[in-house]
Amino acid sequence: MTSTQRYLVQGGKPVSGRIRCLGAKNFATKAMVAALLAEGTTRLLNAPRIGDVEITRKLLAASGAKLDWSGDSDLAIDASTIRSCDVPVPDSGSNRIPILLLGVLLHRIGEAHVPVVAGCNIGARPVDFHLTAAKMFGAEIEVAPDGYRARRSGPLKACHYRLPYPSVGATESCLYLGVLAKGTSIIEGVAIEPEIMALITMLNTMGARVQLKPNRELIIEGVDRLYPTTYDVLGDRIEAASWAALAAATDGEITVDGIDPATLINFFGPFNSVGGGVSIEGPRSIKFFRRHPLRSIVLETDVFPGFATDWQQPFAVMLTQASGISIIHETVYERRFGYLEALSALGAKTQIETHCLGSVPCRFRGRDFPHSAIVRGPTELRSDGITLDVPDLRAGLAYVMAAALAKGETTITSVQRIERGYGELAVRTKGLSLPLQAF
């Protein structure tokens, strides 16, 4: 991994060219955890060499697994030698993987000690659904000052659990817990993001018996053992959407390789409404551009198949270039608009509201969370040497986009937060006319 600390971006020109998006971080890391469920060596193809995968590699290695890279993106995980139930605190201090190891280590070792860690700085991000799920499957959980201690006496047992909200992570926890539990579990209200579909498919290739029913219901018939597999990591739909928004925002043309258009299903509609254009160039290759002058939109984020919460930051940058008043209602995380302050420093006209500015039923109604935003456009962004400090991964790429739009030079600091999910951007964006230098 790099020791890059900051980027210098000279913006103000259309960004065009070609980029290959990485394998999806939010599947690759979960697939690495799934590999621990089977004795033997699982291979992940198209695994991204990014900070979060490295953090996950260290967490898995601490449990006794052996992980080896070959080439750029082929990761072998030998889980025959798992022996430690102590999950260390990740290097970054924040990451969602430790809690996902709870179910896996319970199966493999009978015990798991998981530290309490946060994720990105976008909301409280509790783990109550994960802990309730583990208890429903028969684990005993003790809350210690440094984390959670889970143990089982005898095998975990199937259960019927209705998730209070279609949480991606909690759905993954239920999958890990259910596939090797005794009996048939029913999990209602699950998340169905493309990365979850990929995880279910991968587990089934390992010998699991998981069926997704209509209405967000999983039927998991527990089996006695799982077998290693070889699995191809799908392209990162969040990264692809960000390059799309950059192309339309700057009036450039960006071809993104390595992405399945089907994973962008509900991105294309709003993108086209704003004025973006899309052309399929070949298998897993999409060209994005501006088809019409950009115009405002009303947008609400939601769980899949809704408009992804991780798409709203690049989209907001694009909306600074759209004429009219755009509204974004964020219904997944309660505090995901902090990054708008930085856009305002570059001249964007934005306003944050605690009211629900939309009709999607929202858990944050009446709770005073800053979860709606207004973006007025078009505004010319300018930077006379402004420095932006990256608060979290997705906001970070939005800052790079805003800096690319803004006339002048922008410095972006704490870029290790960006590289956790996007790798070395200065190297990866060589095929784009994006004047970005890393220091």
Of 394, 396, 410, 434, which one interacts with ligand EPU (CB under 6 A)? 394
Closer CB to ligand EPU, residue 253 or residue 392?
A: 392
Stretch that binds ligand EPU, among 62-70, 165-173, 212-220, 263-271 (CB under 6 A): 165-173
Closer CB to ligand EPU, residue 300 or residue 310?
A: 310
CA separation for the pair 185, 11 (Å, rounded): 53
Closer CB to ligand EPU, residue 296 or residue 309?
A: 309
Please report whether residue 96 would count as binding ligand EPU according to CB under 6 A.
yes
Stretch that binds ligand EPU, among 134-142, 166-174, 205-213, 287-295 (CB under 6 A): 166-174
- Which residues in 171-200 contact ligand EPU (CB under 6 A)? 191, 193
362 is catalytic: no
Please report whether residue 202 would count as binding ligand EPU according to CB under 6 A.
no
C-beta nearest to ligand EPU: residue: 169
Of 68, 91, 128, 146, which one interacts with ligand EPU (CB under 6 A)? 128
Of 57, 107, 113, 130, which one interacts with ligand EPU (CB under 6 A)? 130
Instruction: Locate 291 and state its tokens.
Output: 């088809």
The string of DSSP codes covering 128-192 is: HHHHHHHHHTT-EEEEETTEEEEE-SSS-B--EEE-SS--HHHHHHHHHHHHTSBSEEEEES---
CA separation for the pair 153, 138 (Å, rounded): 8
We find the least distance from the C-beta atom of residue 225 to ligand EPU, in angstroms, to be: 27
Of 45, 81, 91, 126, which one interacts with ligand EPU (CB under 6 A)? 126
CA separation for the pair 223, 113 (Å, rounded): 24
Please report whether residue 422 would count as binding ligand EPU according to CB under 6 A.
no
Contact between 370 and 352 under an 8 Å Cβ cutoff? The reply is: yes
Rg of the chain on CA atoms, in Å:
22
21, 85, 120, 356: the active-site residue:
120
Stretch that binds ligand EPU, among 79-87, 160-168, 248-256, 424-432 (CB under 6 A): 160-168
Largest CA distance in the chain: 64
Please report whether residue 168 would count as binding ligand EPU according to CB under 6 A.
yes
- Which residues in 297-336 contact ligand EPU (CB under 6 A)? 309-310, 332-333
Of 105, 299, 393, 426, which one interacts with ligand EPU (CB under 6 A)? 393
Return the number of other C-beta atoms located less than 10 Å from residue 154's C-beta.
Answer: 8
Please report whether residue 51 would count as binding ligand EPU according to CB under 6 A.
no
Please report whether residue 420 would count as binding ligand EPU according to CB under 6 A.
no
CA separation for the pair 309, 352 (Å, rounded): 16
We find the least distance from the C-beta atom of residue 384 to ligand EPU, in angstroms, to be: 30
Stretch that binds ligand EPU, among 161-169, 199-207, 266-274, 317-325 (CB under 6 A): 161-169
Instruction: Locate 374 and state its tokens.
Output: 């207004």
Closer CB to ligand EPU, residue 287 or residue 394?
A: 394
CA separation for the pair 410, 398 (Å, rounded): 13
Nearest-10 crossing angle of helices 312-319, 237-250: 0
Of 90, 147, 169, 423, which one interacts with ligand EPU (CB under 6 A)? 169
Closer CB to ligand EPU, residue 248 or residue 332?
A: 332
Please report whether residue 125 would count as binding ligand EPU according to CB under 6 A.
yes
Sequence-ordered alpha helix ranges (H) in 6-127: 25-35, 51-62, 97-109
Beta strands (DSSP E) in 267-353 are 276-282, 285-290, 298-300, 324-329, 349-353
The closest alpha carbon to 61, from 43, 78, 38, belongs to 78
Q: With 0-12 CB in 10 A as exposed, 13-18 as middle and 19+ as buried, what is 39?
A: middle
We find the least distance from the C-beta atom of residue 224 to ligand EPU, in angstroms, to be: 28
Q: How far is CA 295 from each of CA 1, 241, 405, rounded to the nearest angstrom?
A: 40, 18, 17
Closer CB to ligand EPU, residue 124 or residue 265?
A: 124
Name the β-bridge partners of 386: 410
Residues that bind ligand EPU (rule: CB under 6 A) add up to a total of 25
Active site residues: 120
Residues of this chain that bind ligand EPU (CB under 6 A): 26, 96, 119-120, 123-130, 165, 167-170, 191, 193, 309-310, 332-333, 393-394
